[in-house]
Structure 1
Amino acid sequence: MTDDGSTRKTRRRGPRPATPERLEKAALAYLERYAASSGSLRRVLARRVRRSAELHGTDPAEGAAAIEAIVGKLTRAGFLDDDAFARGLAESLQRRGLSQRAIARRLAAKGLAGSLREAALGRLAETRADPELEAALAYARRRRLGPFAAPGRRAERRERDLAALARQGFPFGLALRVVDAPDAAAAEALAEDPDAAGRPRDPE
C-alpha cells in the first residue's frame, strides 16, 4: 500500500532471456525432477528458446546451438542416457500392459532413434518368455476383460473385449487366447506356459 492509501500492483516478472547458462541450469533442474530422453530435454529447452526470442528478441539459432552443446555435455557426464531410458521405459510400459506396437510409438514420441527402440524391444524379448502375452494379460487384468470379467458377463462382452485388445495393438490371435481362456487361473498359466491353452503360439 502506498502513502496515500492506494494499493500498488506488483508487476510479475516474465521469463528472462534464454542464455546458455540459464538453459543449462533449466536442463539440470528438469533432470532432477524427471527421467528424460535427450529428445524430450531438447523440446523442453526449445520452448524456452522460442519464448525468449518472442519476448526478448534473442537469436533462435544461437539458442539451438546452445541446446545441442548442453545435451552433449549432459550426455558425456552421464545425466542423459537414451539407451538406458529406452530400456527402462519399455519395461515399465510392458508391465502396465502396453503392446509392442504401443511401446514403440511411445518411445518414438520421446524422440528416441529407431535403433534404440529396436534394442529396447529386443531386450524385452531376451528377458521374458513372451513379453507380448504378459502385456496382454496385464491389460486384460487391469481392464477386467475376458476371464478377468465378472462372472456371467463374458459372453455378452466377448467381442468388445477382443476389440479393446486389438485397439491396444495386440495381434488378434493373441487376443483370442487371452479372452477365451477358461478362467483367470488358466489365463495366468499362459504366461508360465504359452501352450497351456492347447493352442500354438501366435505367429505374429
Structure 2
Amino acid sequence: MAVTKEKRRAPKPLDAEMLRQLGLNHVARYATTRGKLRSYLTRKLRERGWQGDDAPPVEAIVERMAALGYVDDRAFAETRAAGLARRGYGPRRIADALRMAGIDEADGQAAGEAAGAAAWDAALAFARRRRIGPFAADSPEPGPARDKALAALMRAGHTFEIARILVDSEPGEVPEAPN
C-alpha cells in the first residue's frame, strides 16, 4: 500500500501588513542591507503573490526600516569589511563582497578605505592561515606550488606586489610592508 503525500495548501497572498511583518522579522533576525531586504521582500512576493490592486510597497518598507535604524548599510559594510580583513581577504575581494551585498559606493567607501589601510596585515593573516611564504614549511621554489600560492593570494583580493613579496619570502622571515 502506497503512502500518499498530503497536498500542501498554497500560501495566502501577501498584503501590505503581511509584507511589512515579513520585513520586520527579517531585519530582527539577520544583519542585512537595503539591497538584501529589497531582494528578500521581492522573492517573497514572487513566491506567495500579491493581494491588492496597487503595487506592493517594497521600497517604502525598505526605506522605513532604514529610517528606523533597523537597516544600516554603512555599519553593515564596516562590520563585513573588518571580518573579511581579519580572515585575510584583500581590498578588492572586500569591495566585491560589499557590492554583492547591495552596498552602494558611498556607504562602502569608509570600509573600503579601512580595508586598503589594513591590506598588509590582511595578507599576512591569509598567508599564515594558508601556510604561504614566511609561514610555509619549505623555501619557495619556482614552479606549480609557487604559482598556486600566488594565485591564492590574488584570488583573496591582494595586489600582485603584495602576493609576490609574500610568496618569495623565506620561511620564518616575515618581510616588511611595501610602501
Match of 2:158 in 1: 170
Asked if 1:89 corresponds to 2:80, the answer is yes
Tell whether the 8 Å contact from 1:97 to 1:139 is kept in structure 2 after alignment: yes
Alignment of 1:47-196 (within 5 A): 47-53=43-49, 62-63=55-56, 66-125=57-116, 130-149=117-136, 151-152=137-138, 154-155=140-141, 157-184=145-172, 186-187=173-174, 190=176, 194=177
CA distance in 2: counterparts of 1:110 and 1:38, whole angstroms: 9
Tell me which of the two structures has the higher relative contact order, counting C-alpha pairs closer than 8 angstroms and 6 or more residues apart: 2
Residues 58-112 of structure 1: CA deviation (Å, up to 9, x unaligned):
66x712xx11111111111110111111111111111111111111111011111
Matched position secondary structure for 2:94: helix
Match of 2:25 in 1: 29
Comparing 75-84 and 175-184, the one that deviates more: 175-184
1:177 CA drift (Å): 1.8
Tell whether the 8 Å contact from 2:91 to 2:115 is kept in structure 1 after alignment: no
CA distance in 2: counterparts of 1:135 and 1:58, whole angstroms: 51
Residues 147-182 of structure 1: CA deviation (Å, up to 9, x unaligned):
222x23632522321122123332111112212233
Instruction: Give the number of aligned pairs.
Output: 175
Q: Give the structure with higher Rg (CA).
A: 1
Structure 1 residues 58, 49: CA separation in 2 closer, same or farther (over 3 Å shift)? farther
Alignment root-mean-square deviation, CA: 2.4
In structure 2, give the amino acid aligned to 1:51. Answer: E
Tell whether the 8 Å contact from 1:147 to 1:154 is kept in structure 2 after alignment: no
Q: Gapped runs of 5+ residues in structure 2?
A: none
Q: Gapped runs of 5+ residues in structure 1?
A: 1-6, 195-199
Matched position secondary structure for 1:175: helix
Tell whether the 8 Å contact from 2:139 to 2:170 is kept in structure 1 after alignment: no
CA distance in 1: counterparts of 2:60 and 2:87, whole angstroms: 35
1:13 CA drift (Å): 2.5
Structure 1 residues 73, 154: CA separation in 2 closer, same or farther (over 3 Å shift)? same
Tell whether the 8 Å contact from 1:146 to 1:158 is kept in structure 2 after alignment: no
1:121 CA drift (Å): 1.2
Match of 1:4 in 2: none
1:57 CA drift (Å): 7.0
User: How does the TM-score come out when normalised to structure 1?
Assistant: 0.75
Taking only the aligned residue pairs, the percentage that are identical comes to 37
CA distance in 2: counterparts of 1:135 and 1:29, whole angstroms: 35
Instruction: Give the 4+ runs in structure 1 shifted more than 6 A.
Output: none
Structure 1 residues 57, 18: CA separation in 2 closer, same or farther (over 3 Å shift)? closer
User: How does the TM-score come out when normalised to structure 2?
Assistant: 0.85
Tell whether the 8 Å contact from 1:52 to 1:58 is kept in structure 2 after alignment: no
